Every structure is written in C-alpha cells, then in structure tokens.
Amino acid sequence: MTKAMKRRLLFFESLGLFILTAVLISGCIRFRASALVPPTVVLERAVFCTALDQKNGWAEPIQEKTLFKKGEDSSVYSFLTLKDLQGAHTLFWKWYDSSRRLYRATDKIAIGEEGKVFERYIAWDMVYVSEDKKKGAWTVAIFLDDRLFSAKEFEIK
C-alpha cells in the first residue's frame, strides 16, 4: 500500500469517526433538551356524564357513566379536566356513532391564554340521547391544537 493510499484511508477513517461522534452527541443533546421542556397541558380527567352541576363559574359532572339509555338519559356530556394548562390552545370534539360515521364535529374553541398558567381548566361538549340515535358503542375524539388528545367510548342502548 502506498503512502498516498494510507493517507486517504486514514482520512476516511477519521471522517467516519467524526461523523459517528457528531451523530451520537447530537442525539444526546436533542434527548436532553426535549426532556427539559415541560408539557403545556395534562389531561387529568375525561369522563362521560348525564348532566353538569354548574356553580360560581365552575362545573362538576353528575352521574358519571359510560352506558346511556334511550328514554332514561336525555344527554351525554364529554367532560374534561385539564391540569397545568400553559398558554393559548384550541380544543374541539368529534363524535362518532356506532357505525363509526362522524355524527358531529364542534367548532374549535380557544382555551387558555398566552403568558398564563391555569392550574385546572374544564371544558365539555354534549349530544342529546334521542330516539333517532343509533344504538351501540360511540366514540368521542378530543383534539388539542389539531392533534388527537383523547379518545373514549360510551354506549347507547
């Protein structure tokens, strides 16, 4: 092997080692940086209920359950409690009937406020349980900032 070939081989080995080191270090740096970013909101509770008890600007679910009966229950509420809500966000619901067809999609609502942190934040949406509603398992998908945040099922009999 000539001196020129040995130099080229040494150059490529050094370059490969440099690239491998750079990739490993950048991976570690990204991991550590993302681990230090706190979440902007935590889903504390997502429940279904038949009604809400609203007092003094606050609400609590009444009769939490996942089975709703026509003739007995008049509505289904999807109720959320968010924890440590930081900044401004958008929230919306999509309700799917038992045949997995979109029954209803809400408009996006603005929640939170830029530069503020809310220790607890509540939100809800509802549909009526009427005779024309399909029986079976329904799904509610909740979206935060246009990304799926939670999905839960309930049943109508």
The model's pLDDT over 103-118, given as tens digits with 9 standing for 90+, comes to: 999 999 999 999 888 8
Task: Provide the token pair at 50.
Answer: 């038949």
Q: In sequence order, what DSSP letters do the residues of 18-43 get, joined into one string?
A: HHHHHHHHHHHHHHHHHHHSPPS-EE
Task: Provide the token pair at 13.
Answer: 């080995």
Helix, strand counts (H, E) of the chain: 1, 8
- Average pLDDT of the segment spanning 26-35: 46
Other Cβ atoms less than 10 A from the Cβ of 129: the count is: 18
Distance between CA atoms of residues 81 and 42, nearest Å: 9
- Among the ranges given (17-21, 121-125, 148-152), the one the predictor scored with the smallest mean pLDDT: 17-21
Helix (H, G, I), strand (E, B) or coil at 93: strand
Higher local confidence (pLDDT), 28 or 79: 79
Query: Which amino acid is it at 61?
Result: P
pLDDT of residue 155: 97
Which CATH architecture describes the domain 42-156?
Sandwich (2.60)
Q: Where are the domains of the chain?
A: 1-37, 42-156
Q: What is the CA radius of gyration of the chain?
A: 26
Q: How far is CA 23 from the centre of its chain?
A: 31
CB 61 within 8 A of CB 74: no
Quickly state the pLDDT bin for 32 (edges 50, 70, 90).
very low
- Average pLDDT of the segment spanning 26-54: 70
pLDDT of residue 123: 95
Please report the sign of the dihedral spanned by the C-alpha atoms of residue 70, residue 102, residue 40, residue 108.
negative
Distance between CA atoms of residues 72 and 61, nearest Å: 17
Quickly state the pLDDT bin for 40 (edges 50, 70, 90).
confident
pLDDT > 90: what percent of the chain?
Answer: 63
The model's pLDDT over 77-131, given as tens digits with 9 standing for 90+, comes to: 999 999 999 999 999 999 999 999 999 999 999 999 998 888 999 999 999 999 9
